């Protein structure tokens, strides 16, 4: 199994698992991939400069298929990913699969609001302790 970075004609950037080496796509009709993850680049100001960070999210989250066929004509470039990117990709897949294993009961409980309703309760004692010198509240 290979871990590849695909740049699509749509502009999307993907990291995928595939059995295909993707050496010569001109003779291929499709590339079969599994566990596709879309990569988004974000640039943020930091210490007088700019740093670039990447965000991963599942590609085609609602697809029931485990193996997807991407038309080779829609692939601008296919290349191996850096080792650290492959490690992060694999970790993302594991974490995403674990978070997606919510039971039907978990979903019903979350929708019904029977558990924590998201409100924070502050007692008078807490309120007095959390005031800064300006009188503003700080929650810890």
**Nearby residues of 108 by Cβ (< 8 Å), 6 or more positions away:** none
**Who has greater pLDDT, 49 or 101?**
49
pLDDT at 81: 95
Listed residue (59, 70, 121, 127) closest to 92, CA to CA? 59
Do 136 and 127 form a contact (C-beta atoms < 8 A)?
no
Name the helix (H) or strand (E) containing 76. Answer: strand 75-80
pLDDT at 127: 44
Residue entry with tokens 């085609």: 60
pLDDT at 123: 45
pLDDT in tens, 60-119: 988 888 999 999 999 999 999 999 999 999 999 999 888 876 666 776 777 776 655 444
């Amino acid at each position: 199994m290979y871990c590849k970075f695909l740049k699509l004609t749509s502009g999307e950037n993907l990291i995928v698992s595939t059995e295909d080496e993707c050496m010569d796509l001109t003779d291929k009709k499709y590339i079969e991939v599994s566990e596709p993850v879309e990569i988004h680049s974000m640039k943020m100001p930091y210490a007088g400069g700019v740093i670039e960070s990447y965000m991963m999210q599942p590609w085609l989250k609602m697809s029931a298929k485990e193996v997807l066929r991407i038309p080779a004509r829609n692939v601008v470039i296919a290349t191996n990913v850096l080792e650290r990117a492959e490690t992060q990709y694999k970790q993302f897949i594991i974490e995403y699969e674990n978070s997606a294993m919510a039971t039907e009961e978990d979903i019903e409980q979350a929708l019904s609001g029977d558990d924590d309703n998201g409100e924070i309760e502050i007692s008078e004692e807490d309120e007095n302790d959390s005031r800064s010198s300006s009188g503003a509240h700080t929650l810890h």
